Each structure stands twice: as structure tokens, then as C-alpha cells.
Amino acid sequence: MTNTKPRTEEWKKAQSERSKIMWANPEWRAKQISNHKKLAELRGNEWFSRISKLASHEKTVTPEVREWNSHKKYRYGIDYATYQTLVETSQGKCSICGTECKLDIDHNHTTKQVRGLVCRRCNLGLVYLDDKKWLKLALYYLGRTMGEEAFL
């Protein structure tokens, strides 16, 4: 019968420290990885090969791309290559006003679909323009205060 006593916080902390020390040793780490490879081969498991591919890919990825993939891919659903295509398509200029500056990713707040790249000023304006009711009220207000000829 195995020992099933609950582990104390003290034991967990000590185990964590032991683990850090062991994984810091390159010889021990190499042995563990080798053992994982052997197990994966015996099981016919693709887990280790997937992990190895990810690890080798991580070494070739720049910090800029890594940050992009971890944050913005999750937020906007596009990868770095797609973003670079958008930058090339827009020639590094805002899709609305045409200024060359740092570009934000414009997306539909309802569908979450990416529409293009725009400057910060235009992106902040689009937040309000997405609301058709607000846009109609704003146009009515500007028409009243500036005259109809201001919109021609």
C-alpha cells in the first residue's frame, strides 16, 4: 500500500527547491530529456516530437514575434505574418487619413474581425463611429451647428 498522506506546504516548498536545483544541472536535464524521448518512442507518442519542434522554433523566433504571437494573436486572431501583410498592403500608412506613423489594428468590436491598420487618432474615432445611432446623432449635431454645407 502506498503512502497517501497529504503533503505539507513545507514539503512542497522543499520539493520545488530541489526541482529547481536539478533542472539547473545541464547533465541531469539532458538525461531527463533523453528519457522522455525513449518513452515517447516506446509509446509511439507524438508528444515529445511536438514539444521538440516547438522548442526549436522558439530558438529561431525573435522576441518581437514571440510577444506578438502570445498577445496579439490571442486578442485579434492574426499571426505576425498576417500583420506584416497588412503593413505591406497599407504601405505603412493609416488606411483612413494616410499618415505614416505607428499603426493600430482596427477590428469590428462585435464580430472581432480585423478590418485593417489605422493610426491611433483614427482608431479612437472609429470607436464611436461603430455605433450607428451615435454617428447619426453626431452628424445631426454637426449639421445643426455648422450648417448643411459643412458636409458637402
25-70 pLDDT, tens digit per residue, is 778 778 877 777 777 666 665 555 555 555 555 556 676 666 666 6
Query: What is the Cα–Cα distance from 96 to 11, expressed in whole angstroms?
Result: 60
Neighbours of 125 (CB within 10 A): 13
Residue scoring higher pLDDT (54 or 128): 128
Please say if the pLDDT value at position 93 is more than 80.
Answer: yes
Report the domain count for the chain.
Answer: 1
Mean pLDDT, range 71-93, rounded to an integer: 83
Dig out the grid coordinates for 70 from the structure: 502570445
Neighbours of 66 (CB within 10 A): 12
133-151 pLDDT, tens digit per residue, is 888 888 888 887 877 665 5
Q: Say if 1 falls within a structural domain.
A: no
Please say if the pLDDT value at position 4 is more than 80.
Answer: no
11-20, 69-78, 115-124: range with lowest mean pLDDT: 69-78
Q: Say if 103 falls within a structural domain.
A: no
Please say if the pLDDT value at position 90 is more than 80.
Answer: yes
Predicted local confidence at residue 2, as pLDDT: 57
Q: Say if 120 falls within a structural domain.
A: no
Dig out the grid coordinates for 73 from the structure: 494573436
Share of the chain above pLDDT 70, in %: 73
Q: Say if 152 falls within a structural domain.
A: no
Mean pLDDT, range 72-79, rounded to an integer: 78
Domain that holds residue 32: 18-60
In 3-state terms the chain splits into helix, strand, coil percentages (rounded to 5) of 65, 10, 25
Q: Say if 92 falls within a structural domain.
A: no
100-113 pLDDT, tens digit per residue, is 988 888 888 778 88
Q: Say if 48 falls within a structural domain.
A: yes
Q: Say if 126 falls within a structural domain.
A: no
Mean pLDDT of the chain: 76
Q: Say if 35 falls within a structural domain.
A: yes
